Structure 1
Amino acid sequence: MRTQTLKLLGLERLIVVKFSKEQKCRFRSLWNKALIVKVYGRLVGFSFLHARLFSLWKPIGKINCVDLGEEFFLVCFSVKEDCEAVLRNGPWFIGENFLSIRPWEPNFHPSEANISLVAVWVRLNELPIEYYDVKALQIIRNVIGRVLRIDTHTENESWGRFTCLCIQIDIEKPLVMAVLIGRKEQPVTKKGIQKLCFSCGRIGHW
């Protein structure tokens, strides 16, 4: 770690802390099994959320919650498979309230966070087999949203009738329902989002 002193307006002094790339990787590796969550439309307490998530997700390992402020919570998993299962099997609701979930990200500041970003699994049913390619999926993802995960079967080239992508979307914007690949319209199916309003393409009306 190196420090540097800067003068501001000739009076105040600002200490700049710099970490090496290796140090950052080590610090951040501790949080690769963590999710940032927020309950939409409802204030919840730390103890209530912890108990409700444990009952809802039924993890095989332990989970710990950290209150980040601004109604955001960090949920840390002791078992990576539990974290992956939460992303894969969502979206989730506490009562009628949508549970916003995103993987932990470096330099997350709750007061500056975009609260409408959530992780959702989508299916590309009957995608032509030539597009079952990582680079092709990366191009498609730029249209649909930021890809957070690719289904394991797709990564291993164990092809089926559809491919699954976990993408980050902004629920305050209309959702993409289809993409045009060549001359063929390719439907984009959101997994488990029965509570979407298909009239406006948005999640809920809370």
Structure 2
Amino acid sequence: DEDFPSQDPAMPVILIYREKKMRILNPWLHCLIFEVFSKTVGYNFLLTKIHHLWLPKGNMSLVDLVLDFLLVKFCLNDDYDHVLIGGPWFISSHFLTVRHWELEFKASVAVVSATRLFELV
């Protein structure tokens, strides 16, 4: 598959049709990954704060990832667009970094855009 670079020959590779792949990925397309920049906060505290901050019209669910990153899934496209386009978002004076969901997101190498932070200063 052209979407995957060649890998270790000892590692099995499962090829799937593009249509099947899109059905698998589709539920994740309206998810965002975010973190509270330079601050660690508890899951329940954060869930309450972002719910009050973003005021979603539909349901949203939150998944705790690693290294203080979280994934938020919206039921409504309007809520997704509001959070992605709106902002900047802050919780207790701490900036929320917000990014599109990525198939192979790695928190250990995630970088906050210096350009975006500069715009906020």
TM-score in same-fold range (> 0.5): yes
Residues 174, 30 of structure 1: alpha-carbon distance in 2 compared, 3 angstrom cutoff: closer
1:81 to 78, 82, 95: 78
Distance 1:49 1:174 in 2: 21
The two structures have a TM-score, normalised by structure 1, of 0.50
Match of 2:11 in 1: 14
Percent of matched pairs sharing the same residue: 34
Match of 1:30 in 2: 27
Query: Over the residues paired in the alignment, what is the CA RMSD in angstroms?
Result: 2.1
The two structures have a TM-score, normalised by structure 2, of 0.82
Distance 2:115 2:68 in 1: 18
How big is the shift at 1:109? 2.2
Residue identity in the other structure for 1:62: N
Higher helix content, 1 or 2: 2
Structure 1: 5+ residue stretches without partners: 1-5, 8-12, 117-169, 176-189, 197-206
Q: How does 1:28-177 map to 2 (within 5 A)?
A: 28-114=25-111, 116=112, 170-171=113-114
**Which structure has the higher relative contact order (CA within 8 Å, separation 6+)?**
2
Higher strand content, 1 or 2: 1
User: How many residues are aligned here?
Assistant: 114
